[in-house]
Amino acid sequence: MTTATPTSSSFRAAPGEGDYAGPAVRYENVSFAFPPREGGPGGLVLENVTLDVRPGERLGILGPNGGGKSTLLKLTLVLLTGFTGRISVMGLTPGQARRQRVIGYVPQRIEAELRFPLSARQVVQMSACAGLPPWRSPGPRQRAAMEDALKVVGASAFADKPIGELSGGQVQRIMIARALACRPRILLLDEPTVGIDVSGQKQFADLLARLHDELGLTIIVVSHDIRTVAAGCDRVACLSRTLHYHVAPEGLTPGVLAEVFRHDVAAIFGELHVDAHKASACKDPSHRH
């Protein structure tokens, strides 16, 4: 895999970032419930979630399916509305952050129509040109954003292939490049390693590290797969409707995981042990539970 570092100027600072010293994303007592629907219950998905995402960190949000991880992410992106509490992104409301393109989003890839007759480059260009007036053609700025995004994820070599002919790992890189092409300061990834084999997951962890180191991005990864968050994140928040723990990845003990996933996972992950702590016992003022 060959990659090149994009020019530092191609990824702009977020609006007002120079003056802003708070958390990259702040969740304060966020609760959300889906309305009851015919054929299935609605119910509370998130309950009083309070969490700060520090600027420049790689945060993994780990939890079981249905634990509210993707919902939290979608609330941040205004893909869902109607929560209580408060969410701020670089000091902005989620709507303002979306308009100012502060966040880059990588969805679960299965949701895109990969049979479209588009090349990988065209998919990335869609993001680079989003917001451009219809009468204007892409200029040097948009082209640079597109090419830099392709380079940094190591996708230049297959950028002209049809998107439907790429492997799962290659599609994932293109989706990350699409998110980067709008020059965000925060990158959100939803279940990024679903369907990717172990070596692909290792490459993914390396890619996250490179994005973090070279672009200085704040990265939030949502996953139900402990290997994804353990390998690629500085800190892990365990979410299953409520926020259970925030720990370093090494702190994901079998006991912690058993509480979050509601079954014994020691046999799967072996004996891990460090300084996991419960929210109720936390005395660190920098930690927001």
Partner 1 sequence: MHLRTLEYLTSPELAPLYWPGVVTGLVIAVLCASLSVVVVLKRMAFIGQGISHAAFGGVGVAAVLGLAAAGGAGAGLGQSLVVLAFCLAAGLGIGWLSEKGQTQSDTAIGIVLVASMALGAVLLQYAHLRGRAGSVAWESLLFGSIMNVAWPDSIAAIVVALAIIAGLWLARRPMLFWAFDEPAAPAFGVPTRAMRFILLLMLAVATVTAMKLAGVVLATAMLVLPGATALQLSHRFGRVMIWSQVIAIGGVLAGLILSFEFDQPTGACIVLVLSLIFGAAWVRRAWLSRAGRAGPAGAGGASGGAAAEAPGA
Give 243's strand partners: 239
SS3 155: coil
Do 125 and 142 meet the contact criterion of CB atoms below 8 Å apart? yes
Pairwise CA distance, residues 84 & 75, whole Å: 11
Name, in order, each residue with C-beta under 8 angstroms of 125's C-beta and a sequence gap of 6 or more.
Answer: 138, 142, 146, 181
Residue 142 or residue 253: which is nearer to partner 1 going by CB?
142
Name the DSSP class of 138. Answer: P
Binding residue count for partner 1, defined by CB under 8 A: 38
Stretch that binds partner 1, among 7-15, 99-107, 216-224, 273-281 (CB under 8 A): 99-107
Residue 194 interacts with partner 1 (CB under 8 A): yes or no: no
Which residue of 14, 46, 59, 123 would you call a contact of partner 1, by CB under 8 A?
A: 123
Smaller CB distance to partner 1: residue 18 or 39? Answer: 39
Residue carrying structure tokens 């940094």? 152
HSE-up of residue 206 (Cα within 13 Å, Cβ side) = 13
The CB-of-50 to partner 1 minimum distance in angstroms stands at 23
Tokens of 27: 């969740």
Q: Does 37 bind partner 1 (CB under 8 A)?
A: yes
Residue 205 and residue 178 in contact, taking contact as beta carbons nearer than 8 Å: no
Q: Does 131 bind partner 1 (CB under 8 A)?
A: yes
- Does 23 contact partner 1 by CB under 8 A? no
Q: Does 240 bind partner 1 (CB under 8 A)?
A: no
- Only one of the segments 16-24, 159-167, 221-229, 263-271 lies at the binding site for partner 1 (rule: CB under 8 A); that segment is 159-167
Backbone angles phi, psi at 205, to 5 degrees: -60, -40
Tokens 């939290």 sit on residue: 72
How many degrees, rounded to 5, is the angle at CA 27 between CA 10 and CA 105? Answer: 35
Does position 12 interact with partner 1 (CB under 8 A)? The reply is no
Task: Indicate which single residue of 14, 182, 189, 256 sits in contact with partner 1 (rule: CB under 8 A).
Answer: 182
Of residues 51-90, those binding partner 1 (CB under 8 A): 77-79
Q: Which residues contact partner 1 (rule: CB under 8 A)?
A: 37-38, 77-79, 98-99, 101, 103, 105, 107, 111-113, 115-119, 121-123, 125-127, 129-132, 134, 137-138, 159-160, 162, 164-165, 182
